[in-house]
Structure 1
Amino acid sequence: MKTLVLASVSLLALGALAPAGAADLPLYKAPVAPVLAYDWIGAYVGINGGGGLAHACWSVVAVAGVPIDPAVGEGCHNASGGTVGAQLGYRWQKARWVLGVEAQGNWADFKGSNVSFVLAPLNNRTTINSFGLFTGQLGYTVNSLLFYGKAGAAVAHDRYDEFIPGVGVVSNTLSQTRWGYSAGFGVEYAFAENWSVGGEYDHLFLGHHGGDLASAILVPPVRTERIGQDIDIGLIRVNYRWGGPVVAKY
């Protein structure tokens, strides 16, 4: 009988202690899966291609050195075409923010013309052979996707001339390198550890610049033109980056 009583008391004691012991045990937590984060830090080089549209307006401000005030407008035209080029840059990253600097150079073939309002049937023609951008970037990244804006200096090499439709005689020619500034935005997607592809839009503000067009066969012998010009550019870009790999963040 004593044995039965002792066994019963022992079982009751164990039952009372079991919940208290279980409460002291740590809860089991499943390991958190790492989130793969793309690191945009590093130098990169790439190629680009796309198209552009320049808007140019001509005005005569002097003839044979004699000023014309107010200037006489000759009309405006668009110069469009294709472009290919390359870019080189470096990016820094802090949390989700990305800073960068970049230099870009492009060959271009933008052409357009209009009939001069002053010297018809002569046509004024603008040809853009090349352009370059030297910009800073500010971006925001969502893992392998980067959204960014950019701004900085711009330069373009232009040729301005006049021709007679159906004859093709160039009567005046002016080559000019124009400096201004640019602003744009883009999006870039990292599809591999060191490779990314993206799209970008840039607007080049090249302002108004004057220049002399010396005539070879027509009068007046020299005209000074004031030409205003802006350029809109759309590009597809592919970059290769040297930098840190994709990292795991917990």
Structure 2
Amino acid sequence: MNKLLIGVVGALAIGLGAAPATAADLAPRPYTKAPPMIAAIYDWSGFYVGANGGWGSSRSCWDLTAPVAGGCHDATGGTIGGQIGYRWQSNNLVFGLEAQGNWADLNGRNVSIDFSRFTNHSRLDAFGLFTGQIGYSWDATLLYVKGGAAVTSNRYRSVDNVSGLQAADSVNDTRWGGVVGVGLEYGFAPNWSLGFEYDHIFMGNSSHTFINNGVIGAPGTTFGTDNIRQDVDLVTARINYRWGGPAIARY
């Protein structure tokens, strides 16, 4: 009996010595580094279409071919229009092509210097810009310069200050010139951007012959021929929607 009891106690002691290790006895798990965060990089590549609006000033100087000084004036007013273009991005450099068309209401006048009886009136009704762009981007911010061709639609007339009537038939003029500009644009959403732009349009000189309408001289005769110089300054706000390449991710 004693031998049996001693055997049972010995077996229990052996069993307890071979018990499995507890959680405290296990080796700690190796540390795994979290994956790096992904930073979104704005991509300016793709086609875009948008709208713009702002203010403009058309500087017009009239001189009769005699020569006789007619003087200068600024035709100012508002403008609204749209643009369409394409950009492609290489690292931080952004290149683009754009066509822009605007309606305008830029009006101005001055009393003729050498013929004070008459007032020269100018109006710019519309303009178009066809430009190339090169810019530098900081993620969603783009600073660019542009340059190319410009076309303006104008109307000129001379008013008799005595009668208050138009002294000659008005002249409609569509002329081509050049444009340079600078802009700053910010992408506030993957496909939307808001920007501000300044443009200077060089129109040069253009000669126009005015025909009497009967107020002063005989109808159909020459009232006068003027060389009219024109430059235009524009400040506009722009909003664009782009499609083609959304914001990309880079590690």
Q: TM-score range by the shorter chain?
A: 0.7 to 0.9
2:167 is paired with a residue of what secondary structure? strand
Match of 1:34 in 2: 38
Decide whether the 8 Å contact of 1:195 with 1:240 is kept in 2: yes
- 1:186-201 to 2 correspondences below 5 Å: 186-201=183-198
1:124 is paired with a residue of what secondary structure? strand
Shift of 1:215: 1.6
1:227 is paired with a residue of what secondary structure? strand
Match of 2:20 in 1: none
Match of 2:237 in 1: 236
1:170 is paired with a residue of what secondary structure? coil
Shift of 1:165: 4.6
Which of 195, 216, 219 is residue 218 of structure 1 equivalent to?
A: 216
Match of 1:157 in 2: 153
Match of 1:185 in 2: 182
Unpaired stretches in structure 1, ≥5 consecutive residues: 1-25, 62-67
Query: In the aligned structure 1, how far is the partner of 2:31 from the partner of 2:128?
Result: 61
Query: In the aligned structure 1, how far is the partner of 2:244 from the partner of 2:147?
Result: 24
Query: In the aligned structure 1, how far is the partner of 2:85 from the partner of 2:204?
Result: 27
1:54 is paired with a residue of what secondary structure? strand
Decide whether the 8 Å contact of 1:102 with 1:135 is kept in 2: yes
Are 2:118 and 1:106 aligned? Answer: no
Q: Taking structure 2 as the reference length, what is the TM-score of the superposition?
A: 0.83
2:37 is paired with a residue of what secondary structure? coil
Query: In the aligned structure 1, how far is the partner of 2:201 from the partner of 2:162?
Result: 33
Q: Find the structure with the greater CA-based Rg.
A: 2
Query: In the aligned structure 2, how far is the partner of 1:230 from the partner of 1:249?
Result: 45
Match of 2:89 in 1: 93
CA RMSD of aligned residues (A): 1.7
Match of 1:11 in 2: none
Q: Taking structure 1 as the reference length, what is the TM-score of the superposition?
A: 0.83
Query: In the aligned structure 2, how far is the partner of 1:29 from the partner of 1:142?
Result: 30
- 1:29-178 to 2 correspondences below 5 Å: 30-61=34-65, 68=66, 71-165=67-161, 167-172=163-168, 173-178=170-175
Query: In the aligned structure 2, how far is the partner of 1:78 from the partner of 1:213?
Result: 21
Unpaired stretches in structure 2, ≥5 consecutive residues: 1-29
Shift of 1:106: 0.3
Letter in 2 for 1:218: I
Equivalenced residues, count: 217
**Which one is further off, 161-170 or 229-238?**
161-170
Identity of aligned residues (%): 47
Query: In the aligned structure 1, how far is the partner of 2:32 from the partner of 2:163?
Result: 88
1:119 is paired with a residue of what secondary structure? coil
Query: In the aligned structure 2, how far is the partner of 1:121 from the partner of 1:164?
Result: 6
Distance verdict in 2 for CA 1:35–1:74, change over 3 Å: same
Shift of 1:222: 2.9
